[in-house]
Homo-oligomer: A and B are copies of this chain.
Amino acid sequence: MDNLKSLDNLIENLYKLPGVGKKSAERMAFSLLEFPQEDLDEIANAISELKKKIHFCPICGMITDIDGCYICDDKNREEDTIMVVCFPKDVLSIERSGAFHGQYHVLNGEISLSKGMDVSSLNIDSLLDRVEKGNFKEIILATNPTVDGETTAAYLNKLLEKYNVNVTRLAYGLQIGGNLDYVDPLTLSKALEGRHKI
């Protein structure tokens, strides 16, 4: 049945999506066969329209679909703290926590030793520019707690040394609701190191 071209074509295309294997793509395609045409059109439209309005904010590098940026334009946010993250989705995660009300700066990438150092493609110049011209008291380097994230943080920390600003890093430790049995030894030792009085 290599003949059902539209089905095969869809399976091939769904297979391009991250986290979708050959078998899932097939299951999805067969299930889409049972969707009404208007739903298919709606999904198709959402995919093809996705990038048409989205661009990067020239100030913070976050994705936006308006002239300005939802965060940079928000006058209610604190203006003396800036959190540096690697990817736009990190902003969503942190916003969801509701714990941060300052500015963001999105690097749109991270230094990857495995893929070769790629500093030039990162949104770093505009960060230094903002720090130099702005009046920030603290810069939180919220890159991932991975080798690449740590490397990126160390690189930024070096660059930021010459400015009169506190550079901080998010705390390492146990995950809320986690189980000590399943915590890796490095995290456990970091959690112990960072213990606090109750």
Q: Which residues of A contact B (CB under 8 A)?
A: 1, 3-7, 9-10, 12-14, 16-20, 24, 26-33, 35, 37, 39-54, 63-66, 70-71, 87-89, 91-92, 95
Contacts and interface: CB of A to CB of B under 8 A. Distances in A.
Pick the most buried of A14, A51, A92, A95: most chain B CB atoms within 10 A of its CB. A51
Given A3-B70, A54-B6, A65-B4, A47 B30 contact: no
A5 to B, nearest CB: 6
Contact of A41 (B1, B48, B65): B48
Pick the most buried of A6, A16, A47, A48: most chain B CB atoms within 10 A of its CB. A47
13 contacts: A1-B71, A4-B65, A6-B50, A7-B50, A7-B54, A13-B47, A16-B43, A19-B24, A33-B63, A37-B48, A43-B44, A44-B44, A44-B45
B54 A10 contact: no
A53 B6 contact: yes
B33 A91 contact: no
The 9 lowest CB-CB distance pairs between A and B, nearest first, are A44-B48, A44-B44, A13-B46, A44-B47, A10-B46, A13-B43, A18-B31, A3-B70, A30-B89
A92 B1 contact: yes
A47 B27 CA distance: 14
Given A7-B63, A65-B5, A70-B1, A47 B40 contact: yes
Nearest to A95: B1
Nearest to A31: B18
Nearest to A42: B13
